[in-house]
Structure 1
Amino acid sequence: MVDQPRTTGSYTYGGSYDPNINQPSRQTVKFLTAATIGVSLLFLSGLILVGTVIGLIIATPLLVLFSPILVPAAIILSLIAGGFLFSGGCGVAAIAALSWIYNYVSGNRPAGSDTLDYAKGMITDKARDVKERAKEYGNYAQGRVQEATQGSY
Protein backbone atom coordinates (compact mmCIF):
# COMPACT_ATOMS: atom_id res chain seq x y z
CA MET A 1 0.00 0.00 0.00
CA VAL A 2 1.34 3.43 -0.93
CA ASP A 3 1.25 6.17 1.71
CA GLN A 4 -0.60 9.22 0.47
CA PRO A 5 -0.98 12.49 2.37
CA ARG A 6 -4.33 13.18 3.91
CA THR A 7 -6.35 15.90 2.34
CA THR A 8 -9.68 17.35 3.26
CA GLY A 9 -12.41 17.38 0.72
CA SER A 10 -15.26 15.21 -0.39
CA TYR A 11 -15.94 12.54 -2.88
CA THR A 12 -18.45 13.26 -5.60
CA TYR A 13 -21.16 10.84 -6.70
CA GLY A 14 -19.07 9.34 -9.42
CA GLY A 15 -16.32 8.42 -7.01
CA SER A 16 -13.89 11.17 -8.02
CA TYR A 17 -12.28 13.34 -5.34
CA ASP A 18 -12.72 17.15 -5.40
CA PRO A 19 -10.70 18.95 -2.66
CA ASN A 20 -12.38 22.36 -3.24
CA ILE A 21 -15.92 21.32 -2.32
CA ASN A 22 -17.20 22.25 1.17
CA GLN A 23 -14.16 24.37 1.98
CA PRO A 24 -14.71 28.07 2.60
CA SER A 25 -12.17 30.27 0.91
CA ARG A 26 -9.48 31.95 2.99
CA GLN A 27 -10.82 35.42 2.13
CA THR A 28 -14.30 34.48 3.29
CA VAL A 29 -12.97 33.32 6.66
CA LYS A 30 -10.92 36.51 7.00
CA PHE A 31 -13.93 38.64 6.16
CA LEU A 32 -16.23 36.84 8.58
CA THR A 33 -13.66 37.07 11.38
CA ALA A 34 -13.03 40.77 10.76
CA ALA A 35 -16.76 41.51 10.52
CA THR A 36 -17.49 39.66 13.77
CA ILE A 37 -14.73 41.45 15.64
CA GLY A 38 -15.70 44.81 14.15
CA VAL A 39 -19.37 44.49 15.02
CA SER A 40 -18.64 43.36 18.58
CA LEU A 41 -16.20 46.25 19.13
CA LEU A 42 -18.68 48.71 17.67
CA PHE A 43 -21.35 47.39 20.04
CA LEU A 44 -19.00 47.68 23.02
CA SER A 45 -18.04 51.23 22.09
CA GLY A 46 -21.72 52.15 21.93
CA LEU A 47 -22.30 50.66 25.39
CA ILE A 48 -19.33 52.57 26.77
CA LEU A 49 -20.61 55.81 25.24
CA VAL A 50 -24.07 55.30 26.76
CA GLY A 51 -22.54 54.48 30.16
CA THR A 52 -20.36 57.58 30.01
CA VAL A 53 -23.30 59.83 29.18
CA ILE A 54 -25.42 58.33 31.97
CA GLY A 55 -22.55 58.74 34.44
CA LEU A 56 -22.07 62.35 33.37
CA ILE A 57 -25.79 63.05 33.77
CA ILE A 58 -25.74 61.59 37.27
CA ALA A 59 -22.48 63.29 38.31
CA THR A 60 -23.24 66.79 36.96
CA PRO A 61 -25.37 67.96 39.92
CA LEU A 62 -22.72 66.71 42.34
CA LEU A 63 -19.98 68.49 40.41
CA VAL A 64 -21.98 71.74 40.45
CA LEU A 65 -22.66 71.48 44.20
CA PHE A 66 -19.07 70.65 45.14
CA SER A 67 -17.28 72.85 42.58
CA PRO A 68 -16.25 75.48 45.18
CA ILE A 69 -14.25 72.71 46.86
CA LEU A 70 -13.25 70.62 43.86
CA VAL A 71 -11.84 73.38 41.64
CA PRO A 72 -9.24 74.67 44.14
CA ALA A 73 -8.42 71.08 45.11
CA ALA A 74 -7.88 70.17 41.46
CA ILE A 75 -5.67 73.22 40.97
CA ILE A 76 -3.58 72.35 44.02
CA LEU A 77 -3.28 68.70 43.01
CA SER A 78 -2.25 69.65 39.48
CA LEU A 79 0.40 72.05 40.84
CA ILE A 80 1.72 69.34 43.16
CA ALA A 81 1.80 66.78 40.35
CA GLY A 82 3.51 69.29 38.06
CA GLY A 83 6.10 70.01 40.74
CA PHE A 84 6.85 66.32 41.20
CA LEU A 85 7.11 65.79 37.44
CA PHE A 86 9.39 68.81 37.03
CA SER A 87 11.57 67.68 39.93
CA GLY A 88 11.82 64.18 38.51
CA GLY A 89 12.63 65.54 35.06
CA CYS A 90 15.40 67.74 36.47
CA GLY A 91 16.80 64.73 38.32
CA VAL A 92 16.82 62.61 35.18
CA ALA A 93 18.46 65.43 33.22
CA ALA A 94 21.12 65.85 35.90
CA ILE A 95 21.88 62.11 35.91
CA ALA A 96 22.09 62.09 32.12
CA ALA A 97 24.41 65.11 32.10
CA LEU A 98 26.67 63.63 34.78
CA SER A 99 26.78 60.32 32.90
CA TRP A 100 27.70 62.12 29.68
CA ILE A 101 30.43 64.10 31.44
CA TYR A 102 31.83 60.92 33.03
CA ASN A 103 31.89 59.18 29.65
CA TYR A 104 33.56 62.19 28.03
CA VAL A 105 36.22 62.51 30.71
CA SER A 106 36.94 58.78 30.72
CA GLY A 107 37.52 58.89 26.94
CA ASN A 108 34.49 56.89 25.77
CA ARG A 109 33.45 59.70 23.36
CA PRO A 110 29.69 59.92 23.92
CA ALA A 111 27.32 61.35 21.33
CA GLY A 112 28.00 65.04 20.69
CA SER A 113 31.58 65.00 21.91
CA ASP A 114 32.90 65.79 18.42
CA THR A 115 30.76 68.94 18.38
CA LEU A 116 32.11 69.89 21.80
CA ASP A 117 35.70 69.38 20.61
CA TYR A 118 35.00 71.49 17.52
CA ALA A 119 33.50 74.28 19.64
CA LYS A 120 36.47 74.11 22.01
CA GLY A 121 38.85 74.52 19.05
CA MET A 122 36.86 77.46 17.69
CA ILE A 123 36.88 79.20 21.07
CA THR A 124 40.64 78.62 21.40
CA ASP A 125 41.25 80.10 17.93
CA LYS A 126 39.08 83.14 18.67
CA ALA A 127 40.82 83.69 22.01
CA ARG A 128 44.21 83.57 20.26
CA ASP A 129 42.99 86.09 17.65
CA VAL A 130 41.68 88.43 20.35
CA LYS A 131 44.98 88.18 22.23
CA GLU A 132 46.97 89.03 19.10
CA ARG A 133 44.69 91.97 18.27
CA ALA A 134 44.92 93.24 21.84
CA LYS A 135 48.71 93.04 21.69
CA GLU A 136 48.75 94.90 18.36
CA TYR A 137 46.39 97.56 19.68
CA GLY A 138 48.49 97.87 22.87
CA ASN A 139 51.62 98.46 20.77
CA TYR A 140 49.75 100.97 18.61
CA ALA A 141 48.41 102.79 21.67
CA GLN A 142 51.84 102.82 23.31
CA GLY A 143 53.36 104.32 20.16
CA ARG A 144 50.69 107.03 20.09
CA VAL A 145 51.33 107.84 23.75
CA GLN A 146 55.09 108.16 23.11
CA GLU A 147 54.43 110.44 20.12
CA ALA A 148 52.12 112.57 22.21
CA THR A 149 54.62 112.85 25.08
CA GLN A 150 57.55 113.67 22.77
CA GLY A 151 55.58 116.32 20.97
CA SER A 152 54.72 118.15 24.18
CA TYR A 153 58.39 118.83 25.18
Structure 2
Amino acid sequence: MADRDRDRQQLQIHPQQQQYRYEGGLKNILPQKGPTASQIVAIVTLLPVSGTLLALAGITLAGSLIGLAFATPVFLIFSPVLVPAAILIAGAVTAFLTSGAFGLTGLSSLSWVLNSFRQATGREPQDYAKRRVQEATGQVGEKTRQVGETIKAKGQEGVGREGRESGAAVGAGAGRPA
Protein backbone atom coordinates (compact mmCIF):
# COMPACT_ATOMS: atom_id res chain seq x y z
CA MET A 1 0.00 0.00 0.00
CA ALA A 2 2.86 2.29 0.77
CA ASP A 3 4.13 1.60 -2.75
CA ARG A 4 0.83 2.71 -4.25
CA ASP A 5 0.85 5.96 -2.28
CA ARG A 6 4.41 6.61 -3.41
CA ASP A 7 3.41 5.97 -7.05
CA ARG A 8 0.47 8.34 -6.72
CA GLN A 9 2.66 11.00 -5.22
CA GLN A 10 5.10 10.58 -8.06
CA LEU A 11 2.30 10.94 -10.59
CA GLN A 12 0.88 14.01 -8.89
CA ILE A 13 4.15 15.91 -8.81
CA HIS A 14 4.04 18.79 -11.26
CA PRO A 15 6.92 20.99 -12.23
CA GLN A 16 6.66 24.25 -10.36
CA GLN A 17 5.75 27.19 -12.48
CA GLN A 18 7.81 30.27 -11.88
CA GLN A 19 5.73 33.21 -10.96
CA TYR A 20 7.20 36.64 -11.45
CA ARG A 21 5.97 39.14 -9.00
CA TYR A 22 6.96 42.73 -8.60
CA GLU A 23 7.78 43.30 -4.98
CA GLY A 24 9.39 46.71 -5.28
CA GLY A 25 6.28 48.53 -4.18
CA LEU A 26 4.87 51.82 -5.35
CA LYS A 27 8.05 53.70 -4.49
CA ASN A 28 10.01 52.05 -7.30
CA ILE A 29 7.40 52.89 -9.96
CA LEU A 30 7.07 56.58 -9.16
CA PRO A 31 10.00 58.96 -9.59
CA GLN A 32 11.92 59.81 -6.45
CA LYS A 33 11.50 63.57 -6.86
CA GLY A 34 8.63 65.77 -8.01
CA PRO A 35 8.34 67.82 -11.22
CA THR A 36 10.93 70.46 -11.93
CA ALA A 37 10.21 74.18 -11.97
CA SER A 38 10.42 74.33 -15.77
CA GLN A 39 7.84 71.55 -16.07
CA ILE A 40 5.47 73.40 -13.73
CA VAL A 41 5.91 76.65 -15.68
CA ALA A 42 5.25 74.81 -18.96
CA ILE A 43 2.03 73.29 -17.61
CA VAL A 44 0.84 76.58 -16.15
CA THR A 45 1.56 78.32 -19.47
CA LEU A 46 -0.06 75.65 -21.65
CA LEU A 47 -3.32 75.37 -19.69
CA PRO A 48 -4.69 78.83 -20.65
CA VAL A 49 -3.44 78.51 -24.21
CA SER A 50 -5.05 75.11 -24.71
CA GLY A 51 -8.25 76.31 -23.03
CA THR A 52 -8.42 79.34 -25.34
CA LEU A 53 -7.84 77.19 -28.41
CA LEU A 54 -10.49 74.72 -27.29
CA ALA A 55 -12.98 77.58 -26.81
CA LEU A 56 -12.18 78.94 -30.29
CA ALA A 57 -12.71 75.46 -31.75
CA GLY A 58 -16.14 75.28 -30.09
CA ILE A 59 -17.14 78.74 -31.36
CA THR A 60 -16.00 77.82 -34.86
CA LEU A 61 -18.00 74.59 -34.77
CA ALA A 62 -21.12 76.42 -33.62
CA GLY A 63 -20.69 79.09 -36.30
CA SER A 64 -20.23 76.42 -38.97
CA LEU A 65 -23.41 74.62 -37.92
CA ILE A 66 -25.44 77.86 -37.90
CA GLY A 67 -24.04 78.84 -41.30
CA LEU A 68 -24.85 75.40 -42.70
CA ALA A 69 -28.41 75.67 -41.39
CA PHE A 70 -28.93 78.99 -43.19
CA ALA A 71 -27.04 77.94 -46.36
CA THR A 72 -28.79 74.60 -46.91
CA PRO A 73 -31.92 76.13 -48.54
CA VAL A 74 -29.69 78.26 -50.79
CA PHE A 75 -27.75 75.14 -51.81
CA LEU A 76 -30.98 73.35 -52.66
CA ILE A 77 -32.28 76.24 -54.77
CA PHE A 78 -29.03 76.76 -56.67
CA SER A 79 -27.98 73.10 -56.88
CA PRO A 80 -28.31 72.91 -60.70
CA VAL A 81 -25.56 75.55 -60.90
CA LEU A 82 -23.58 74.62 -57.82
CA VAL A 83 -23.11 70.91 -58.55
CA PRO A 84 -21.34 71.43 -61.89
CA ALA A 85 -19.35 74.30 -60.35
CA ALA A 86 -18.32 72.06 -57.46
CA ILE A 87 -17.31 69.32 -59.90
CA LEU A 88 -15.28 71.84 -61.91
CA ILE A 89 -13.56 73.21 -58.81
CA ALA A 90 -12.86 69.70 -57.52
CA GLY A 91 -11.33 68.78 -60.89
CA ALA A 92 -9.17 71.91 -60.91
CA VAL A 93 -7.95 71.27 -57.38
CA THR A 94 -7.24 67.64 -58.24
CA ALA A 95 -5.29 68.68 -61.35
CA PHE A 96 -3.31 71.24 -59.37
CA LEU A 97 -2.43 68.74 -56.64
CA THR A 98 -1.57 66.10 -59.23
CA SER A 99 0.76 68.45 -61.06
CA GLY A 100 2.43 69.32 -57.77
CA ALA A 101 2.84 65.64 -56.95
CA PHE A 102 4.32 64.98 -60.39
CA GLY A 103 6.69 67.93 -59.95
CA LEU A 104 7.85 66.68 -56.55
CA THR A 105 8.27 63.19 -57.95
CA GLY A 106 10.35 64.54 -60.81
CA LEU A 107 12.53 66.62 -58.49
CA SER A 108 13.07 63.73 -56.11
CA SER A 109 13.92 61.45 -59.04
CA LEU A 110 16.42 63.98 -60.35
CA SER A 111 17.92 64.32 -56.88
CA TRP A 112 18.21 60.55 -56.63
CA VAL A 113 19.92 60.32 -60.02
CA LEU A 114 22.39 63.07 -59.08
CA ASN A 115 23.20 61.41 -55.76
CA SER A 116 23.71 58.03 -57.39
CA PHE A 117 25.93 59.70 -60.02
CA ARG A 118 27.99 61.31 -57.27
CA GLN A 119 28.39 57.97 -55.53
CA ALA A 120 29.30 56.15 -58.75
CA THR A 121 31.85 58.65 -60.09
CA GLY A 122 33.03 60.27 -56.89
CA ARG A 123 32.63 63.78 -58.31
CA GLU A 124 30.00 66.38 -58.94
CA PRO A 125 27.93 66.21 -62.16
CA GLN A 126 28.86 69.83 -62.93
CA ASP A 127 32.56 68.96 -62.85
CA TYR A 128 31.91 65.98 -65.08
CA ALA A 129 29.90 68.12 -67.51
CA LYS A 130 32.61 70.82 -67.57
CA ARG A 131 35.27 68.23 -68.34
CA ARG A 132 33.13 66.74 -71.11
CA VAL A 133 32.49 70.19 -72.61
CA GLN A 134 36.22 70.96 -72.53
CA GLU A 135 36.98 67.66 -74.25
CA ALA A 136 34.28 68.30 -76.85
CA THR A 137 35.60 71.85 -77.43
CA GLY A 138 39.11 70.48 -77.93
CA GLN A 139 37.80 67.87 -80.38
CA VAL A 140 35.81 70.50 -82.30
CA GLY A 141 38.88 72.75 -82.44
CA GLU A 142 41.04 69.90 -83.74
CA LYS A 143 38.44 68.93 -86.33
CA THR A 144 38.11 72.58 -87.42
CA ARG A 145 41.88 72.83 -87.84
CA GLN A 146 41.94 69.62 -89.92
CA VAL A 147 39.09 70.85 -92.14
CA GLY A 148 40.84 74.21 -92.55
CA GLU A 149 44.05 72.51 -93.60
CA THR A 150 42.14 70.31 -96.05
CA ILE A 151 40.40 73.36 -97.57
CA LYS A 152 43.71 75.20 -97.78
CA ALA A 153 45.38 72.25 -99.49
CA LYS A 154 42.52 71.89 -101.98
CA GLY A 155 42.55 75.64 -102.55
CA GLN A 156 46.28 75.58 -103.29
CA GLU A 157 45.81 72.65 -105.65
CA GLY A 158 43.00 74.52 -107.39
CA VAL A 159 45.05 77.73 -107.64
CA GLY A 160 48.01 75.76 -108.97
CA ARG A 161 45.87 74.07 -111.62
CA GLU A 162 44.08 77.29 -112.43
CA GLY A 163 47.36 79.10 -112.69
CA ARG A 164 48.67 76.59 -115.18
CA GLU A 165 45.46 76.72 -117.18
CA SER A 166 45.38 80.53 -116.98
CA GLY A 167 49.00 80.78 -117.92
CA ALA A 168 48.42 78.66 -121.03
CA ALA A 169 45.42 80.77 -121.95
CA VAL A 170 47.36 83.96 -121.35
CA GLY A 171 50.25 82.67 -123.42
CA ALA A 172 47.94 81.70 -126.26
CA GLY A 173 46.18 85.02 -126.21
CA ALA A 174 49.36 87.07 -126.10
CA GLY A 175 50.16 86.53 -129.78
CA ARG A 176 46.86 87.80 -131.05
CA PRO A 177 45.84 91.41 -131.26
CA ALA A 178 42.93 92.38 -129.10
TM tier, smaller: 0.3 to 0.5
Higher helix share: 2
TM-score by length of 2: 0.36
| TM-score scaled by length of structure 1 | 0.41
Higher relative contact order (CA 8 A, sep 6+): 1
Structure with higher Rg: it is 2
